[in-house]
Amino acid sequence: MTDELPRVTVDGRVGPVDASLVPRFVGPATFARLPRLDQVSDVDVAIVGVPFDAGVSYRPGARFGPAHVRESSRLLRPYNPALDVAPFGLQQVADAGDLAVNPFSIDEAVAQVERGADALLERAGRLLTIGGDHTIALPLLRSVVRRHGPVAVVHFDAHLDTWDTYFGAAYTHGTPFRRASEEGLIDREASMHVGIRGPLYAASDLSDDTALGFSVVHARELEDLGSRGVIERIRARVLDRPVYVSVDIDVLDPAFAPGTGTPESGGLLSRELLAVLRGFGSMRLVGADIVEVAPAYDHAEITGIAASHVAYELLSAMALTGGRPA
């Protein structure tokens, strides 16, 4: 370690700055005030930001998402009572900073994210990525699949993100999972969307999505299914396959996540989303991302706080499945 701030340590793992000794509003805003990547040796999970939003179709601003989520994570604590786990004690988690990607060329940015993820996975067992817009899910999946083969993708979003193109562009925040399916990155027997809602362009959007290998839990089903019912649907489809979780923060209702680029009414409650994410503690979670936080529209860090807790639950689920997935 190169800093002098007192930290919580468990079984030799370096954890967050000790909030009983250092006020939460003091010091660098790494995620949850965790150590930087250069301050630890072995790393189980690296948290990395991708400040990129050139793929958005409506409101811009998600390039400022990683810094906002980190700032909103200062209040997170080392023990998760909902899962009875200390996510920073069972695994070494470190903040790897941000990938510097081209803000003017989507193609170049996609390539840079892929190379950056490859480099980090040479050192860390898993990545938890903070976006940025949803375009980044495609290069992240390419990197993960090189290590695990095709993965079950569980995608939390208001939107399908399996459209073919916007304005002739193949890579946008509305197309990553069509491209991923076309490239053979996803397990077509095990992937699904959760939280889909709002108007579509045509009924064929849903049939096309099914052909690409996704099943859907619509947001309107949450009232009847409840969080436990959604978890059971996910488990029944994923089984023991390696699973990658991608969370667009607009899966939440705008009341809980106003700071996002394409808000849709009628979304999940924060409580529902966090409860479902806890279910991944019994699955082979090999990576995850949280995207589309746009702080310019976020009053009082409402969206940033929700996103930081999403990240915390994903880290807790990773801790339950071991630091380096098989």
**What is the rounded CA–CA span in Å between residue 199 and residue 74?**
36
**What is the rounded CA–CA span in Å between residue 309 and residue 72?**
9
Q: Who's near 30: CB < 8 A, 6+ residues apart?
A: 36, 70, 95
Query: Which pLDDT score, from 0 to 100, does residue 3 have?
Result: 67
pTM of the model: 0.96
Query: Which pLDDT score, from 0 to 100, does residue 323 have?
Result: 47
Predicted confidence (pLDDT) at residue 321 exceeds the cutoff of 90 = no
Summarize the confidence of residues 19-28 as an average pLDDT. 92
Q: Who's near 110: CB < 8 A, 6+ residues apart?
A: 135, 136, 138, 139, 171
Q: Which domains does the chain have, with CATH numbers?
A: 7-320 (3.40.800.10)
Predicted confidence (pLDDT) at residue 326 exceeds the cutoff of 50 = no
Predicted confidence (pLDDT) at residue 79 exceeds the cutoff of 80 = yes
Burial class of residue 188 in the structure, from the number of CB atoms within 10 Å of its CB (0-12 exposed, 13-18 middle, 19+ buried): middle
Average pLDDT over the chain reads: 95
